[in-house]
Structures are given as structure tokens and as C-alpha cells.
Amino acid sequence: MDIQIRNIHKGFGSFPALAGVDLDIHSGELIALLGPSGSGKTTLLRTIAGLEYPDAGQILFGGEDTVALPVQQRRVGFVFQHYALFRHMTILENVAFGLRVRPRSERPSDSAIKKKAAELLDLVQLGGLEKRYPSQLSGGQRQRVALARALAIEPRVLLLDEPFGALDAKVRKDLRRWLRELHDKTGYTTVFVTHDQEEALELADRVVVMSRGRIEQVGSTDEVYENPATPFVFDFMGNTNILPGNVRGKEVFVQGTPSSIASTTLHEPGPVDIYVRPIDLRVADPGIPSFEAEILSTQRTGPVVRCEARAIESGVTLEIELPHLHFDVPLLKPSARVQLRLTNFSVFPKGTPITRQALPDVVSNAPAEYRERGRAG
Amino acid sequence: MTALSAAPDLPVKSLKHRSVMPGFGLSLGFTVFYLCLIVLIPLAGVFLKTADLGWGGIWHVVSSPRVDAALRLSFGAAAIAATLNAIFGLLVAWVFVRYDFFGKKLLDATIDLPFALPTAVAGIALTALYSGNGWVGQYLEPLGIKVAFTPLGVIVAMTFIGLPFVVRTVQPVLEEAEKELEEAAASLGATRWQTIMRVILPAILPALLTGYALSFARAVGEYGSVIFIAGNLPMKSEIAPLLIIIKLEEFDYAGATAVAATMLVISFLMLLVINLLQGWSRSRSGAKK
């Protein structure tokens, strides 16, 4: 079912939790709402479900406006972070709940309900545990029961609120993969909330990055990672180095030094901030445009070598990350001077803050205009 | 203690017996001793004294119409009062937990008043209110409802003193109940009524039963407030504890203890049933033993 969200506003007291959100969710899509806590992602999810009422705006399920529809009639499957299973019921009865509470005229027979619930438990790989109570299951199993319970009502959309948040790392990874498979098998339109970018990138078809009640960027996982629309998105998707630079036309000058690095679009001449990920800094061969830096410290953590360096001209402290067997690693000895080049970067107007607090409204409405992107060979 | 004596020979074994919470033997011993002193010995005394009568004598006392009527009144009125308290106490607890309103703290504190009030004060106040010319009684009288000096008065007094038990046992459980459970039920299509009946009530049932049991036990044992409002007409509004006092005043010690022992046995059986019910409703939540 297509879902269209139109200009949703929602405030808690004087705090605007959602400040004008527009989003189109396509049928059968698995979409992630990604953002730090307080970004409004959970509020948006709960508003789609009907657990919160928006102050203004529209939510259309396949063209039908649902804002006035109470949660009971929206047919949404909602999965909570802490499962919210009914403790006094067996897991079979938990799954059957949504069918049992239907009005008598729409309710299937008792045996049909039990059959359906058992099928769903098989689907979530818990067949044979029907008689257990939630307290007798592990966290991962409980979350799968919660999912089966939500699927029992054949929801128009499946909404998951940090579904793996309460699980430990290993179970979380397994369950993630399993959820992706389940989604491909069942094809439910699914929206899930997470603050973990890795989870969003691994699981979702598209990612919605949110901050302070607004959408920063909507895009495929590659787009969001490779082509961040705002400094916030760039920073939220991974570690960030910020270098001072200049642009003229398509030419980018790093550290004031002319470089062969070219931007994909034309820029107004002037100072810019160049955003670089630690993995996109490399030692430059002689003859390649580069800038000089002094290595401060090097540390290996597992498969990765992390190195701190200071750009000589600007004095900016940089973080460099390399696989530990990379041929640059031997060069990165403390107090050594090296020439660095960028393999990939983003260009934003100088002084754009990463947090959204100080940003004027204009920025969020027109992110594409100040966002630029460059790539070096 | 065995671990201590074995310590020099088998230090490894003694380590095994150590616990972060030592003193199990001592504390259990004290607990049993204390329970005997405070509870078991006095109760055993009741049965011992009753035994003087023999089975026939006991039956003769208990089956006499006046004692029979008093026992029926005591337990019947207590059951009705506890039921009323379970219903309305739940409502009161619900309102306190779910809503915020002006004066909530003050109202919340008044709930405990029946705990703290001397029962005689409660009795006098209730009698003054419900007697034929009292504030409330004068309006009920023309409707043909007599409260003071009737079994109805007994129920009123027992309800008054039992309310805090239900409110105070249900309140914390309601506070803990996750809002998410109700949201989950609603998202699955359950109406408000279905959510209350199928999700909330089963979750608080054990606490509600505890409150019911406490309220019931208190009502059965209540003396001070009831005797003022009951009027104490033999065969009509005379409660069993009062009958015990009357028998004592007549120096009929064996008769008094026979009534007492009967009350004890009935109370014990009723509390046992309630406890079993609690255990059953807990086991349904699959809690591990």
C-alpha cells in the first residue's frame, strides 16, 4: 500500500517534534527512518500508526486520508522496541489476539484462528513453541512473536519502532538478515525506525535521514552514504574530517593549494568546507596534487589502523583510517610528514554547522542548492 | 554452621557454602521463633481452650441460632464489602494512576485515612451520618432505606475500613503496566473495552485478588467501627466478634473461643482459596517458579 505523508506538524508543548514532514512510501518498500534521538523519527512512525495525532497535515493510505481514523481501524502492524507482548497469554494466543478481537461478523472460527496463528508462528520460525509464555522466550524470539502478532491482522503497512534496539549485537545481526528475507517473501510495505546507520544501510531499500523534526534527505542507501545532502547527513553516516577549501568553477582547492580534484558541479567562487571520511584520505604519490600533514599517532584496532594527523597549513586535526595491511600503513609513523590526497569528499558552504539547531529554515527547504559533490580519481 | 566446623579440614568445600547473603540459618531460626511467639502460640491457645468443649460442645455453640446468624452476617457482609471495594478501589486506583488533576495528592492522602483513623471514630462518624436524622440518613429514610442499626450499616462500615487495601495494592501494579501493551492491543484492532477486559484486567488480577483478600480479612476482624453503626440486635445486626465479647463478659470462655476458632478456620479457608486463585492467575502469565 502506498503511503503519502503530507506536511505533518506535531508538537509536544512548545517542542516541535515534527515540523512539516513530507514523504512518499512506495508499496512493498522497506524504508528506514534514521536519526539521532529527538529527531522525530519515532513520532513520525507513531503518527503513521495513529498512536499520535498530528497537529496538521495528511497521511494517505493508498489515497485515503487516515488522519481522522483511529488506530483500531487503520490496520497497521506495529512492533514495539520492548515487544509489548501480553504476558498472561501463550504466544499462540498473542498472535491470535488481533483476530479474536474482531467483531463477531468478521471473526474467523476458533479453529481457523488457531490455524492462522500457528502458520504465522511457523513463518517466524517458532513452530512448536505455541504453548510457551513470553517470559519463557529469549529476546529475539519475543520480537519474532511480536512480528507474527502484527502480521496476523494482514496490515496495510508494517511499522517497527527500533525493533532490534533491546537485543544484543549478535542476535540483532541475525534478526536483521532474517527480517530482510521475510520482507522479500511477504512483500509488506515496511517502515522501521533506527538510530543505527549500519542497520539502516544494511536493511532498507531507502533511507530517510531525520533531524530535529525534519527530513534531511531521502534516498537509496547508496545515495545517502555517497551523496549526503547536508553536513548533518554526512556526519551522521560516519566519521567526518572537515578541511578548509576554495572553489572556482569546477576546481577545488584543498588547503589553498590548487588541486586536480574537480567538483561535479559549478560553484560560486569562495571558501568552502570540504567533508572527508577517514577512509577517503590516502598518502599521495609524488606528482599528484596533495597537501602536507604531520602524523600525530597511529593505533591499530582489530582489522583497522586509525591514525591522527595534523594538516600543516591549516592546523586541522584529521583522522585517517586504513585496512591494517594497506601499503600506506608503514608510512604513517608518529611525527612523520606525509603528503595526503582525497579519494572522495563532499563540499558544503563554509561554516555550515552540522547540527540543525542554528540552521535557518531556508536551508532545509533547499538542500540541493548548497550541496555539492566532488570526486577525485 | 557445619561449614564453619569443617573449615580447617576442607577449606575448598567451606568456600562453596559461602554466600553473599550469609546468616540463612540464624535468620530462619529467628523467623520461625518469632512467628511462633506472635502468631502460632496464641492461635494454638484458642484451639486448646476450645478443645475443652469437645466436638459436641463446639457444635452446640456454633449451631445455636444466634451464633450462626452472627457468623453469617460477619462473613457475608465482609464478602460484600470486599467485593464493593475491589470494584470501586480499582476505579479509584485507575483514576489516580491514569489522570492528572488538581488536588490529586490531597485525595491520594485521604485514601489512607481509614488506616489511621481509630475505628471508634469511624464508627461514630458513620452512625451520625446514616442514622435517621443524620446528614445522609434523613434523605435515605423516606426512601425506605435504613442504614444505621441494620446489616446494611455493617456493610457500609466494612467498606469504609477496607478501601485503602485495594487501592494501595492495585495502584503500584497499574503504575507499572506498560502503556505499550494498550497501544499494541489498539493497533491490533481491540476496542477500549476489549483492551481492558483482555489485556489490563488479567495483568492486575493477582494484585486485585490480594487487595480483595486483605480487605476481606480486615472486614471480618473489624470490631470498633461496626458495633457503633450496627445497633447489635441479636439475630439481625450482631457480628461474630461482638458475640465473642458478649460471651467473655458472661464468663463463657469456652463458648467464646469456640466462636473464635470457627472464625479462624473459615477465615483461613477463604484466604487459602484466594491464595490458590492468585497462584493460578500468576501461573497463567508463565512466570517461573
What is the per-residue pLDDT for A284? 83
Q: CA B17 to CA B22: how far, in whole Å?
A: 9
Asked if B186 lies within 8 A of A135 by C-beta distance, the reply is no
Residues 6 or more apart in contact with residue B55 via CB below 8 angstroms:
none
Q: How many residues does chain A have?
A: 377
CA of B283 to nearest chain A CA: how many angstroms apart?
A: 8
Using the structure block, give the residue that is written with the C-alpha cell 501493551: B181
Radius of gyration of chain B (CA): 24
Contact A76, A155 (CB under 8 A): yes
* B16-37 per-position pLDDT tens digit: 566 777 788 889 999 999 999 9
- Stretches where chain A sits below pLDDT 70 are 250, 255-267, 355-377
* pLDDT score of B19: 73
Interface of A with B in 54-73 (CB under 8 A): 70-73
| The three-state (H, E, C) secondary structure of A50-63, written as one string | CCCCCCEEEEEECC
Identity of the residue in A70, A135, A152 whose CB atom sits nearest the CB atom of B288:
A135
Count Cβ atoms below 10 Å from residue A364 Cβ, excluding itself: 20
Chain A residues within an 8 Å CB radius of B287: 133, 135
Preferred mutation among A42, A46, A72, A162 to probe B, highest tally of B CBs within 10 A: A72
- As a whole number of angstroms, the distance between CA B165 and CA B209 comes to 11
Task: Judge if pTM exceeds 0.80.
Answer: no
Output the pLDDT for position A360: 35
Identify which of B191, B199, B281 has the shortest CB distance to residue A72.
B191
Q: What is the reported pLDDT for A356?
A: 45
Dmax over Cα atoms in chain B, in whole Å? 87
* B193 in A contact zone (CB under 8 Å): no
Confidence at residue A362, expressed as pLDDT on a 0 to 100 scale: 31
Q: Beta strand pairing status for A157-161 and A190-194?
A: parallel
From chain B, pick out residues whose CB is under 8 angstroms from the CB of A132: 286
Per-residue 3-state assignment (H helix, E strand, C coil) for chain A = CCEEEEEEEEEECCEEEEEEEEEEECCCCEEEEECCCCCCHHHHHHHHHCCCCCCEEEEEECCEECCCCCHHHHCEEEECCCCCCCCCCCHHHHHHHHHHCCCCCCCCCHHHHHHHHHHHHHHCCCCCCCCCCHHHCCHHHHHHHHHHHHHCCCCCEEEEECCCCCCCHHHHHHHHHHHHHHHHHHCCCEEEEECCHHHHHHHCCEEEEEECCEEEEEEEHHHHHHCCCCHHHHHHCCCCEEEEEEEEEEEEEECCEEEEEEEEEEEEEEEEEEEECHHHEEECCCCCCCEEEEEEEEEEECCEEEEEEEECCCCCEEEEEEECCCCCHHHCCCCCEEEEEECEEEEEECCCCCCCCCCCHHHHHCHHHHCEEEECC
Instruction: Determine contact: B197 vs chain A, CB below 8 A.
Output: no
* B196 at A interface, C-beta within 8 A: no
C-alpha–C-alpha distance, residues B177 and A231, integer Å: 42
Q: Is B200 on the interface with A (CB under 8 A)?
A: no
B146: exposed, middle or buried (Cβ count in 10 Å: 0-12, 13-18, 19+): middle
Instruction: Give Dmax over CA atoms of chain A in angstroms.
Output: 80
Give the per-residue pLDDT at B7.
Answer: 46
Spell out the SS3 assignment of A134-199: HHHCCHHHHHHHHHHHHHCCCCCEEEEECCCCCCCHHHHHHHHHHHHHHHHHHCCCEEEEECCHHH
Predicted local confidence at residue A78, as pLDDT:
94
Contact B241, B267 (CB under 8 A): no
Q: Do B180 and A80 touch (CB under 8 A)?
A: yes
Closest chain B residue to the Cα of A101, Cα to Cα: B190
Smallest Cβ distance to B189: which of A101, A132, A134?
A101
Q: Tell me how close the Cα of B182 comes to any Cα of chain A, in angstroms.
A: 9
- Residues of chain A positioned with their CB less than 8 A from the CB of B196: none
3-state secondary structure of B132: coil
- Count of A–B CB contacts within 8 Å? 84
Please list, in sequence order, all residues whose beta carbon lies within 8 angstroms of the beta carbon of residue A4, skipping any fewer than 6 positions away.
Answer: A23, A24, A25, A58, A59, A60, A63
Dihedral pair phi/psi, residue B209, rounded to 5°? -65, -40
Q: What digits encode the pLDDT tens for the residues A332-356?
A: 888 888 888 888 888 888 877 776 4
pLDDT of residue A364: 33
Q: What's the gap in Å between the CA of A103 and the closest CA on chain B?
A: 9
Distance CA A214, CA A5 (A): 13
Return all residues near B283 (Cβ < 8 A) that are at least 6 apart.
none
**Position B75: which residue type?**
F
pLDDT tens, residue by residue, A233-289: 998 888 888 888 887 776 777 766 666 566 666 667 778 888 889 988 888 887 777
Contacting residues of A for B185, CB less than 8 Å apart: 86, 97, 101
Contact A76 B187 (CB under 8 A): yes
- Compare all CA atoms of chain A with the CA of B196 and give the residue at the minimum distance: A101
Rounded to the nearest 10 degrees, the angle between the axes of helix B65-98 and helix B240-249 is 140
Q: Cβ separation of A87 and B286 shorter than 8 Å?
A: yes
Q: How far does the CA of residue B172 sit from the closest CA of chain A (Å)?
A: 17
Q: Is B181 on the interface with A (CB under 8 A)?
A: yes
- Asked if A90's CB is within 8 angstroms of B187's CB, the reply is no
Residue keyed to cell 545517502: A224
- On whether any CB of chain A is under 8 Å from the CB of B198, the answer is yes
Contacts of A197 (CB under 8 A, 6+ apart): A34, A236, A237, A238
d(CA B263, CA A80): 50
Place of cell 533491546: A166
Query: Is B189 in CB contact (< 8 Å) with chain A?
Result: yes
Residue ranges of chain B with per-residue pLDDT less than 70: 1-18, 284-289
Question: pLDDT tens-digit profile of B55-71?
Answer: 888 888 888 999 999 99
Return all residues near B88 (Cβ < 8 A) that are at least 6 apart: B163
Residues 6+ away with beta carbon under 8 Å from A217: A207, A208, A209, A223, A224, A228, A229, A230, A233, A367
The residue of chain A nearest to residue B282, with distances taken between CA atoms, is A88
